């Protein structure tokens, strides 16, 4: 990779990091491009060079977060068949923990999916990505009897929403209760899908 490409990638990453941080501080709607450029310490023209408008910037930030999420869980897709139940349980736990640990990412995604910036195209892209990366794991677990034989697409959709909402509960609770809430959320999720 050339120095110029590396600098451009670094600038994009700075802008995305500033978008996440500013959104957490003042909200998605308040995160004007000028404020984001200021937070990233780049000229507004530089921001627009990389992201021509706020929609494209927010979509790129959302994609960056979701790619990071999938990358974090990618190790749970390499498993022997006889350990599929353990792997599903570990993947669910790792998913909840990912969002709790990356609470700024969580805050951005939570605001994004509730906004007009979250288009049908982005929703479909997310669904396709989750299916591609997690689908085989859950299809195999269902076929092997490690999880209930719910309609696969319904199961995946409800499971990811439940994981996300469980993370919200844990993030919003007092520090001394987080571990208890985490254990209860994981127990609830697992008990709702195991046969």
91, 178: one domain: yes
Specify the pLDDT at position 41: 95
Residue 82 has a pLDDT of 65
Indicate if 166 and 76 belong to the same structural domain: yes
**138: buried, middle or exposed (CB in 10 Å: 19+, 13-18, 0-12)?**
buried
CA distance 25 to 22: 5
- Here the tokens at position 48 are 């627009």
b/e string for 148-163 if b means 16 or more Cβ within 10 A? eeeeeeebbeebbebb
For the chain, what percent of residues have pLDDT higher than 90?
63
Residues 93 and 186 both lie in one domain: yes
Domain that holds residue 37: 1-52
In contact, 46 and 11? CB cutoff 8 Å: yes
Q: How confident is the model at residue 17 (pLDDT cuts 50, 70, 90)?
A: very high
Q: Do 160 and 74 share a structural domain?
A: yes
85 and 156 both lie in a single domain = yes
Domain harbouring 85, CATH code: 1.10.357
Query: Do 75 and 164 lie in a common domain?
Result: yes
Instruction: Tell me, yes or no, whether 36 and 83 share the same domain.
Output: no
pLDDT band at 5 (very low <50, low <70, confident <90, very high): low
Q: What is the pLDDT of residues 51-99, one digit of tens each?
A: 999 999 999 999 999 999 988 887 666 655 667 778 888 889 999 999 9
Residues whose CB falls within 8 Å of the CB of residue 122, separated by 6 or more in sequence, listed in order = 59, 62
139 has pLDDT over 90: no
Q: Are residues 84 and 180 in the same domain?
A: yes
Contact by Cβ (8 Å): 4, 87: no
């Amino acid at each position: 990779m050339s120095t110029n490409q590396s600098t451009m990638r670094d600038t994009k990453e700075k802008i995305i990091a500033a978008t996440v941080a500013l959104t957490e501080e003042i909200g998605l709607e308040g995160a004007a491009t000028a404020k984001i450029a200021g937070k990233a310490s780049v000229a507004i023209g530089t921001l627009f060079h990389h992201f021509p408008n706020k929609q494209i910037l927010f979509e790129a930030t959302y994609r960056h977060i979701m790619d990071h999420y999938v990358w974090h869980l990618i190790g749970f897709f390499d498993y022997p068949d006889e350990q599929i139940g353990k792997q599903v349980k570990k993947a669910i736990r790792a998913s909840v923990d990912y969002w709790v640990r990356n609470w700024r990412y969580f805050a951005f995604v939570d605001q994004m999916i509730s906004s007009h910036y979250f288009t049908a195209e982005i929703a479909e892209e997310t669904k396709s990505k989750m299916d591609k990366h997690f689908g085989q794991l859950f299809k195999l677990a269902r076929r092997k009897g490690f999880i209930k034989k719910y309609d696969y697409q319904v199961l995946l959709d409800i499971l990811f929403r439940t994981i996300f909402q469980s993370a919200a509960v844990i993030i919003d609770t007092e520090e001394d209760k987080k571990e208890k809430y985490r254990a209860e959320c994981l127990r609830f999720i697992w008990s709702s899908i195991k046969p």
